[in-house]
Chains A and B, each alone.
Chain A
Amino acid sequence: MPPALEASGVTKRFGAVVALNDARLTVGRGEVHALLGANGCGKSTLCKIIAGTVARDDGEIRVAGEARALASPRAAEAAGIALYYQELSLVPQLTVAENVFLGHEPRGFGGFVDETTLNDRTDLLIGRFAGVAGEGFTARTRVSDLSPDQRQITEILKVLARKPRLIIFDEATAALDRRQVDVFFSIMKDLRAEGISSIFISHRLDEVFRVADRITVMRNGATVADFATAETTPEAIVREMVGDVRLGPKGGTAAPAEAAEIRLSVEGVTGGRLQGVSFAARRGEILGLGGLQGQGQKRLLAGLFGADPFTGGRVLLDGEPVAPRRPADAIAAGFGLVSGDRARDAAFPGRSILENAAMASLVRDKARLILLGPLRSRFSRTLSGLKTRYAGLNAPIGSLSGGNQQKIFIARWLAARPSVLLLDDPTKGIDLGAKADFFAIVRALAGTGATILIYSSEDADLLSLCHRVLVFNGGRITADLTGSTLDAMALTRAAYGEAA
């Protein structure tokens, strides 16, 4: 019997960037197959090609032995493939049931939508998550009223409702709590028993080893290894993912002296997931916000920056209370924010590198006229100091790689001289070399006395960069790790809410 899926020689370019170069993947019938690799290795692109939302440049894909073009999501669906989307594919304005059966609405008399069947079947599906689905989650609930984990469950149900032969789960567990993950894994085992294959992508290695039968590892757009899970170890997998091991040096600068003065003091702030968070940060300190994703770290940064003001508590900067209602207030008080979601939060697409770099300092200095000469020489100095590679200050921001773009946005804030710099998952989507440069910049900035708060979705970043890490769980700080107590083991244990 031919395998459920056989992809070979798949290539894809986005403009000048090669996203996939000879990617291979073979998934057997009724197999849970994990697809692993570092950020930007191409695994999401490969999945989107299999699901028909991205067009491949070259390569062959066979589904159950039959060569397929997979020219659209409809074509992929016709071939029995369903993709669980990391970027959710739900329509917030529709109800859970309307979303779950979108495009497959049960029909009654005369081809009209049979709403009773629609809602009953959806409630039955929700029932698989009985006890762990949370409050106010029914077939008739509007998706915009759901919590993030409930949306993720809805997305899973939507995939199941399509009754596919092959399911791609791309980070399907990211927003789920542990009990919900357990239910999800039992569903995956049921699927396997029914002969349905699945491709599983997760950034949690422990989950992969719990559920996967086989593992394929990708690096730089190519497939580099294929293992049976039983015959490999997490260490071997990580070695394949990283390739040439090049972790950043640990502790490039000494931790600030205990005597260094307190710069930022946060007292019992609330809002969103935050359940009353208090801590203090010193001048020159690099303070990490650790823990699993979605435990309130991003909310804290958004609150400090005035993008999403706190609902309670207070913040002192150099002893003075600050309560920014909008980012402009926070910037005036001396905060800066570098986000890893550059396209959404930072870039002015189509505009020049200079415009992108200069905007924050123009605002901070309340500039009216632009003196192009001085501005250009100032930023070309800054950017060469940051080892940025760029064609010229007039080139559009989009001509740069992710790592070099992030240097532009760092330069944006360096020029505004913030006393507290907030980093929101800043290394997302940038390569290892650029990451090392980025860390050096952050350390140098801290060396000048700036206080740095960093949230990262990768623990390794926090371990190699931070003087101290506050671990978040359920909107509270559950551990304060520093010096000898700060290591990967302690971080992971604290993240899962266990005592260090």
Chain B
Amino acid sequence: MDRLIQILKDPLLIAALAILVLLGAGELLSPGFARGDQIVRLLTVAAILGIVAAGQNLVVLGGREGIDLSVGAVISLGAVIAGNVMSGNDAAILPAVAAAAGAGFLVGIVNGLGVTVVRIPPLVMTLGMMGVLQGALVVLSRGVPSGNAAPALMAFVNQPFVLGIPGILFVWAAIAVLMAFVLRRTAFGWSIYAIGSNERAAVLTGLAAGRIRTILYGLSGLFAGVTGVCVIGYTGNSFISVGDQYVLPSVIAVVIGGTSLAGGSGSYTGTILGAIALVLLQSVLTTLQMEFWSRQVIFGATLLVLMLLYGRQARLRV
């Protein structure tokens, strides 16, 4: 019985079940919801969320209340930078990706240094960084939308690439494989879990916890910068708050996927399922033609239910 409960509490299983239930519900409400091209469409949206959530996942795994709330502003920054570098020119796509990723990485490293060297709590540091970036975006774009995506990038994100599947899904798959490999088969991946589960023990084992954590924030920035490129590819142009809508979902996807907010346990596989479940939930709520407010309430309530499953802290009395 205990064993059964253990299995039923497996976050991956819960997320997978949630996906099936949501798909079924969507199909019931609106026949054709679970059709192949619709699913590809949903997965494209999930991919954008999934890429930014990869960085969020790393930061949360690294422990010490790790969280990156600046990802939204970094996405906007990445989108604005990429849009301006490309200016609709196919030849400039790769430089645009490099510039957005590089800028995101730098921002992330600054976050990481603030958290590890100055020891500002991550929540505050990344929120403060969000404020700075929003200011920087105003300066960069002078308040008006600027830059636009190259046609090839928009096609890569939105149009079938191979086997009827858009290119962005291949990118997401590659990131998924890379994340799984790094987390499971590299010493760096193992050290992330080590500092996340017990930093003191990790340091006493010779790990440079501060450096590792700084890199994690850098990677989170990098993933967010890349997500910015995907966002401009998805919508065609950018505005300075285009990334804000991803902050909260990136955290929720990680939590749904079973990564502990205390750090040191979880997987990107779970986060992928979390991102898909979240996008499906949004889609089902839209299909229900719910008003914005009730979607919000259901969203928040879902998060609270998830906390009940695996976000609880230890009892004081044992």
Chain A–chain B contact at Cβ < 8 A: yes
Q: Interface of A with B (CB < 8 Å)? A: 14, 52-55, 72, 305, 307, 326-328, 331-332, 337, 339, 344-351, 355, 358-360, 362-364, 367-370, 372, 412
Q: Does B142 contact A (CB under 8 A)?
A: no
**Contacting pair A349 B190 (CB below 8 A):** no
> B204's contact among A52, A305, A362, A367, by CB below 8 Å, is which?
A305
**Contacting pair A346 B193 (CB below 8 A):** no
- Docked pose: A344 CA to B204 CA in angstroms: 10
**Contacting pair B317 A327 (CB below 8 A):** no
**Contacting pair A328 B208 (CB below 8 A):** yes
- Docked pose: A348 CA to B186 CA in angstroms: 17
- B178-215 CB mask vs A (1 if < 8 Å, else 0) is 00000011111111011001101111111110000000
Taking A339-B204, A345-B200 as known contacts, 6 extra A-B pairs with beta carbons closer than 8 A to each other, sorted by chain A number, are A53-B317, A327-B204, A328-B206, A362-B187, A362-B191, A412-B205
- Docked pose: A358 CA to B193 CA in angstroms: 13
Q: Does B141 contact A (CB under 8 A)?
A: no
- Docked pose: A472 CA to B122 CA in angstroms: 43
Question: Chain B nearest CB: distance from A59 CB in Å?
Answer: 16
Q: Does B274 contact A (CB under 8 A)?
A: no
When A328-B206, A355-B194, A412-B205 are in contact, do A55 and B186 touch as well, CB less than 8 Å?
no
**Contacting pair A348 B185 (CB below 8 A):** no
Question: Chain A nearest CB: distance from B237 CB in Å?
Answer: 41
Question: Chain A nearest CB: distance from B189 CB in Å?
Answer: 8
- Docked pose: A369 CA to B185 CA in angstroms: 6
**Contacting pair B264 A351 (CB below 8 A):** yes
**Contacting pair A349 B200 (CB below 8 A):** no
Q: Does B144 contact A (CB under 8 A)?
A: no
Total residues of chain B contacting the partner, CB 8 A:
25
Q: Interface of B with A (CB < 8 Å)? A: 184-191, 193-194, 197-198, 200-208, 264-265, 317-318
Question: Chain A nearest CB: distance from B17 CB in Å?
Answer: 23
> B206's contact among A52, A72, A331, by CB below 8 Å, is which?
A331
> B201's contact among A55, A72, A346, A370, by CB below 8 Å, is which?
A346
In the bound complex, residues from chain A placing their C-beta under 8 Å from that of B191 are 359, 362-363
- Docked pose: A458 CA to B179 CA in angstroms: 47
When A55-B317, A355-B194, A370-B185 are in contact, do A363 and B206 touch as well, CB less than 8 Å?
yes
- Docked pose: A347 CA to B200 CA in angstroms: 9
Question: Chain A nearest CB: distance from B185 CB in Å?
Answer: 5
**Contacting pair A348 B264 (CB below 8 A):** yes
**Contacting pair B186 A369 (CB below 8 A):** yes
- Docked pose: A159 CA to B189 CA in angstroms: 48
Question: Chain B nearest CB: distance from A175 CB in Å?
Answer: 22
Closest partner residue, chain B, to A354 (CB atom): B190
**Contacting pair B190 A355 (CB below 8 A):** yes
- Docked pose: A362 CA to B205 CA in angstroms: 10
- Docked pose: A339 CA to B194 CA in angstroms: 17
When A14-B318, A349-B264 are in contact, do A370 and B186 touch as well, CB less than 8 Å?
yes
- Docked pose: A364 CA to B206 CA in angstroms: 8
> B264's contact among A55, A305, A331, A350, by CB below 8 Å, is which?
A350
- Docked pose: A14 CA to B317 CA in angstroms: 12
Closest partner residue, chain A, to B197 (CB atom): A348
Question: Chain B nearest CB: distance from A300 CB in Å?
Answer: 16
Closest partner residue, chain B, to A326 (CB atom): B203
Question: Chain B nearest CB: distance from A415 CB in Å?
Answer: 11
- Docked pose: A412 CA to B202 CA in angstroms: 12
When A362-B190, A368-B186 are in contact, do A348 and B206 touch as well, CB less than 8 Å?
no
Can you pick out 6 interface pairs between chain A and chain B where the beta carbons lie within 8 Å of each other? A328-B207, A331-B205, A348-B202, A363-B187, A367-B187, A369-B185
Question: Chain A nearest CB: distance from B316 CB in Å?
Answer: 8
Closest partner residue, chain A, to B193 (CB atom): A351
In the bound complex, residues from chain A placing their C-beta under 8 Å from that of B318 are 14, 54-55
Question: Chain A nearest CB: distance from B285 CB in Å?
Answer: 34
In the bound complex, residues from chain A placing their C-beta under 8 Å from that of B208 are 328
- Docked pose: A17 CA to B4 CA in angstroms: 21
**Contacting pair A368 B187 (CB below 8 A):** yes
Question: Chain A nearest CB: distance from B3 CB in Å?
Answer: 14
In the bound complex, residues from chain B placing their C-beta under 8 Å from that of A327 are 203-206
Question: Chain A nearest CB: distance from B262 CB in Å?
Answer: 10
In the bound complex, residues from chain A placing their C-beta under 8 Å from that of B184 are 370
Question: Chain B nearest CB: distance from A350 CB in Å?
Answer: 5
**Contacting pair B265 A350 (CB below 8 A):** yes
Question: Chain A nearest CB: distance from B244 CB in Å?
Answer: 34
Question: Chain B nearest CB: distance from A149 CB in Å?
Answer: 25
Question: Chain B nearest CB: distance from A333 CB in Å?
Answer: 11
**Contacting pair B197 A349 (CB below 8 A):** yes
**Interface core residue of A14, A55, A307, A363 (most chain B CB under 10 Å):** A363
- Docked pose: A360 CA to B202 CA in angstroms: 9
**Contacting pair B194 A348 (CB below 8 A):** yes
Closest partner residue, chain A, to B196 (CB atom): A348
When A54-B317, A72-B317, A359-B207 are in contact, do A372 and B193 touch as well, CB less than 8 Å?
no
**Contacting pair B190 A350 (CB below 8 A):** no
**Contacting pair A307 B194 (CB below 8 A):** no
In the bound complex, residues from chain B placing their C-beta under 8 Å from that of A359 are 190-191, 194, 202, 205, 207
Question: Chain A nearest CB: distance from B182 CB in Å?
Answer: 10
In the bound complex, residues from chain B placing their C-beta under 8 Å from that of A347 are 198, 201
- Docked pose: A346 CA to B202 CA in angstroms: 8
When A54-B318, A355-B193, A359-B190 are in contact, do A337 and B204 touch as well, CB less than 8 Å?
yes
In the bound complex, residues from chain A placing their C-beta under 8 Å from that of B203 are 307, 326-328
Question: Chain B nearest CB: distance from A18 CB in Å?
Answer: 15
In the bound complex, residues from chain A placing their C-beta under 8 Å from that of B207 are 328, 359, 363
Question: Chain B nearest CB: distance from A317 CB in Å?
Answer: 16
- Docked pose: A331 CA to B202 CA in angstroms: 12
Closest partner residue, chain B, to A53 (CB atom): B317
When A337-B204, A359-B190, A363-B205 are in contact, do A372 and B185 touch as well, CB less than 8 Å?
yes
**Contacting pair A344 B186 (CB below 8 A):** no
**Contacting pair B188 A360 (CB below 8 A):** no
- Docked pose: A351 CA to B183 CA in angstroms: 13
Question: Chain B nearest CB: distance from A460 CB in Å?
Answer: 27
In the bound complex, residues from chain B placing their C-beta under 8 Å from that of A14 are 318
In the bound complex, residues from chain B placing their C-beta under 8 Å from that of A55 are 317-318
- Docked pose: A326 CA to B205 CA in angstroms: 10
Question: Chain A nearest CB: distance from B204 CB in Å?
Answer: 5
Closest partner residue, chain B, to A366 (CB atom): B187
- Docked pose: A307 CA to B204 CA in angstroms: 7
In the bound complex, residues from chain B placing their C-beta under 8 Å from that of A331 are 205-206
When A and B form their complex, which 6 residue pairs have the shortest distance between CB atoms, in order from nearest? A363-B206, A331-B206, A348-B197, A328-B206, A362-B187, A367-B187
**Contacting pair B206 A351 (CB below 8 A):** no
- Docked pose: A367 CA to B189 CA in angstroms: 11
**Contacting pair B317 A348 (CB below 8 A):** no
**Interface core residue of B187, B202, B206 (most chain A CB under 10 Å):** B206
In the bound complex, residues from chain A placing their C-beta under 8 Å from that of B198 are 344, 347-349
In the bound complex, residues from chain B placing their C-beta under 8 Å from that of A358 are 190
Question: Chain A nearest CB: distance from B224 CB in Å?
Answer: 26
**Contacting pair B187 A360 (CB below 8 A):** no
Question: Chain A nearest CB: distance from B233 CB in Å?
Answer: 33
In the bound complex, residues from chain B placing their C-beta under 8 Å from that of A337 are 204
